[in-house]
């Protein structure tokens, strides 16, 4: 079947599988990749556990990044550290020539989610960060998959280049966006990723596009009792802005999400505040939808400043594209998940999961280690945004999800931190490494499959020219990164 015909059929028929190019057997190489990862099991778990303990937040992942980069170097990868202006970003490559297959790993934690690896809520260090999205598993698991492929290339059983991307600050800032801007993904044939979840599946759902911005108001200070008429309250401007933003909620599509935090709302009651600051995110299913809302928000900021008699300023910090899902590639992922089979859990692990579910008030279903059937892509994806979306607009990007926590667990919360530090998360990480590695065996060996994936990517992207939301200049590095 001609590629254009294949892609058109996919676009019209959703998940109806026509005749995707036949994958080569390659089972022996897949088994070898699995054996290599098994031989690395203890080292990968140790790596993940150390990153779990470090629990470093966005662009502060100094020890976590070093642990991954050092281990890659020890395994024979050529490592380039501090890429795209971020000390905690790196690339690790092995091999030469085409195809060039990339795989991404994350390792940043979330503030305030410290938790012991137990089934009851108990902070490991009160107020500290924790891996409430499983990124300790993400980084180590992806590196494990890259090592499996590297060993096959070194043995002469695969040809081409494997490249691991150490990508910081997914939870805030969006490190991959700066790496995309630097052109670090431009020469890839395909890029892979995975994410911890409560189910095993090929990820055919997109993500939400997002814009991250600051709104500031500058007024004039005065005594709040003696001469308030001489003041111009920046907080008045901020409150008028939030009123306008909340009124806007009635007049946007159901897919839109708007969240904000007041960062500076004055210092003391008896001073008319001259400065106020608000941090805001706007999301929608597509970047075009985000732009439509953002234009309205800009007008609201201007209007609020005029009404309060103060100056207003809206500054873009960052933002994510929605995922450009590649169904052809996800079918390849799905076949390999089926080939690999389910994760098996002990009764002790299932009881740990049920205890967590009781603690958070959800149905006690335990852990789901079965490979889920492929879903139909939704027009409006589930909530959540990721800078993997930006990568997916410059190179075909395939993603899978693997069970690392109980079903229906609250994400970005203590149950995910707890499971990421014990055998439940560790089993998911090793499984992800294997699933990614065997999928990459197919991608390295089958040019026809790669071309079909690229054809769908080119058709879906069309003539769109990628433009990141990030402002000109270097990443917003914290002082500790210098």
Structural domains in the chain plus CATH codes: 3-207+324-481 (3.40.630.10), 209-320 (3.30.70.360)
Percent of residues, the chain, with pLDDT higher than 70: 94
Percent of residues, the chain, with pLDDT higher than 90: 92
Contact assessment for residue 88 and residue 71, using Cβ atoms and an 8 Å cutoff = no
Rounded to an integer, the average pLDDT of 243-256 is 97
Please report the DSSP string for 343-407 in residue order: PP--HHHHHHHHHHHHHHT--------SBPPPPPPPSSPPS---THHHHTTTS-EEEEEEE-S-T
Please report the DSSP string for 48-105 in residue order: HHHHHHH---TT--HHHHHHHHHHHHHTT-EEEESGGG-TT-EEEEEE-SS-EEEEEE
Render the burial of 254-285: b for 16+ CB within 10 Å, e for the rest. Answer: ebbbbebeeebebeeeeebbbbbbbebbbbbb
* pLDDT score at 346: 98
Band of pLDDT at residue 161, cut at 50, 70 and 90 = very high
- The alpha carbon of 262 is separated from its chain's Cα centroid by a whole number of angstroms, namely 25
Residue-wise pLDDT tens digits, 256-289: 999 999 999 999 999 999 999 999 999 999 999 9
Q: Residue 419: which of 368, 371, 384, 363 has the closest Cα? A: 368
Q: Which tokens go with 28?
A: 């022996």
* pLDDT score at 9: 34
Q: How many CB atoms lie within 10 A of CB 177?
A: 25
* pLDDT score at 178: 98
Q: What is the DSSP letter of 22?
A: P
Give dist(CA 99, CA 111) in Å, integer.
Answer: 39
* pLDDT score at 26: 61
Band of pLDDT at residue 383, cut at 50, 70 and 90 = confident
* pLDDT score at 1: 35
Q: How many CB atoms lie within 10 A of CB 12?
A: 8
Biggest alpha carbon–alpha carbon distance for the chain: 84
Residue 6 has pLDDT above 90, yes or no: no
Give dist(CA 29, CA 423) in Å, integer.
Answer: 27
Residue 431 has pLDDT above 70, yes or no: yes
CA atoms 439, 445, 450, 452: torsion sign: negative
* pLDDT score at 479: 72
Number of residues that make up the chain: 482
Rounded to an integer, the average pLDDT of 17-33 is 65
* pLDDT score at 19: 35
Residue 15 has pLDDT above 80, yes or no: no
232 burial class (0-12, 13-18, 19+ CB within 10 angstroms)? Answer: buried
Residues 6+ positions from 419 with CB-CB distance below 8 Å: 117, 134, 352, 353, 356, 404, 405, 406, 409, 425
Please report the DSSP string for 411-456 in residue order: SSSHHHHHHHTSHHHHHHHHHHHHHHHHHHHHHHH-HHHHHHHHHH
Contact assessment for residue 450 and residue 2, using Cβ atoms and an 8 Å cutoff = no
Rounded to an integer, the average pLDDT of 14-29 is 51
Opening angle at CA 318, ends 81 and 84, nearest 5: 15
Residue-wise pLDDT tens digits, 77-99: 999 999 999 999 999 999 999 99
Residue 245 has pLDDT above 80, yes or no: yes
Rounded to an integer, the average pLDDT of 350-374 is 97
* pLDDT score at 413: 97
Residue-wise pLDDT tens digits, 34-76: 999 999 999 999 999 999 999 999 999 999 999 999 999 999 9
Give dist(CA 107, CA 73) in Å, integer.
Answer: 17
Residue 13 has pLDDT above 50, yes or no: no
* pLDDT score at 382: 84
Residue 14 has pLDDT above 60, yes or no: no
Residue-wise pLDDT tens digits, 167-212: 999 999 999 999 999 999 999 999 999 999 999 999 999 999 999 9
Residue-wise pLDDT tens digits, 114-151: 999 999 999 999 999 999 999 999 999 999 999 999 99
Give dist(CA 199, CA 407) in Å, integer.
Answer: 7
Q: Average pLDDT of the chain? A: 94
């Amino acid at each position: 079947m001609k590629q254009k015909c294949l892609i058109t059929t996919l676009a019209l028929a959703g998940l109806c599988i026509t005749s995707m190019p036949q994958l080569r057997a390659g089972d022996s190489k897949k088994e070898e990749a699995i054996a290599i990862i098994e031989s690395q099991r203890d080292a990968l778990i140790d790596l993940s556990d150390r990153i779990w303990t470090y629990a470093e937040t966005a662009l502060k992942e100094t020890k976590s990044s070093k642990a991954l980069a050092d281990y890659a170097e020890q395994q024979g990868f050529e490592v380039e550290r501090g890429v795209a202006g971020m000390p905690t970003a790196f690339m690790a490559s092995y091999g030469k020539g085409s195809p060039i297959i990339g795989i991404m790993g994350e390792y940043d934690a979330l503030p305030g989610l410290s938790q012991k690896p137990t089934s009851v809520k108990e902070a490991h260090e009160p107020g500290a960060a924790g891996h409430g999205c499983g990124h300790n598993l993400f980084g180590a698991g992806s590196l494990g998959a890259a090592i499996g492929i590297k060993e096959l290339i070194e043995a002469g059983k695969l040809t081409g280049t494997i490249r691991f991307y150490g990508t910081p600050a997914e939870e805030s800032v969006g490190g991959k966006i700066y790496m995309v801007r630097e052109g670090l993904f431009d020469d890839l044939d395909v890029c892979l990723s995975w994410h911890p979840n409560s189910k095993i599946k090929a990820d055919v759902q997109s993500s939400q596009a997002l814009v991250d911005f600051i709104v500031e108001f500058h007024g004039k200070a005065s005594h709040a009792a003696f001469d308030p008429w001489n003041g111009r309250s920046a907080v008045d401007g901020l409150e008028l802005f939030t009123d306008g933003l909340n009124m806007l909620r009635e007049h946007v599509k159901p897919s839109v999400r708007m969240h904000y935090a007041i960062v500076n709302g004055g210092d003391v009651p008896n001073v008319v505040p001259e400065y106020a600051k608000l941090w805001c995110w706007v999301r929608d299913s597509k970047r075009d939808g985000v732009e439509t809302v953002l234009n309205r928000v800009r007008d609201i900021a201007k209007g609020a400043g005029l009404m309060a008699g103060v100056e207003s300023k809206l500054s873009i910090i960052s933002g994510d594209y929605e995922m450009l899902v590649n169904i052809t590639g996800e079918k390849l992922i799905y076949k390999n998940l089926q080939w690999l089979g389910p994760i098996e859990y002990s009764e002790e692990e299932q009881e740990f999961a049920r205890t967590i579910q009781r603690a958070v008030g959800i149905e006690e279903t335990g852990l789901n280690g079965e490979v889920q059937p492929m879903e139909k892509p939704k027009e409006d994806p589930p909530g959540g945004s990721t800078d993997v979306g930006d990568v997916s607009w410059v190179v075909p990007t395939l993603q899978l999800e693997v069970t690392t926590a109980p079903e229906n667990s609250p994400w970005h919360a203590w149950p995910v931190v707890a499971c990421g530090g014990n055998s439940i998360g560790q089993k998911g990480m090793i499984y992800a490494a294997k699933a990614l590695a065997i999928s990459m065996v197919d991608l390295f060996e089958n040019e026809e499959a790669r071309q079909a994936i690229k054809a769908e990517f080119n058709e879906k992207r069309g003539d769109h020219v990628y433009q990141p939301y990030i402002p000109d200049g270097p990443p917003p590095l914290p002082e500790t990164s210098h």
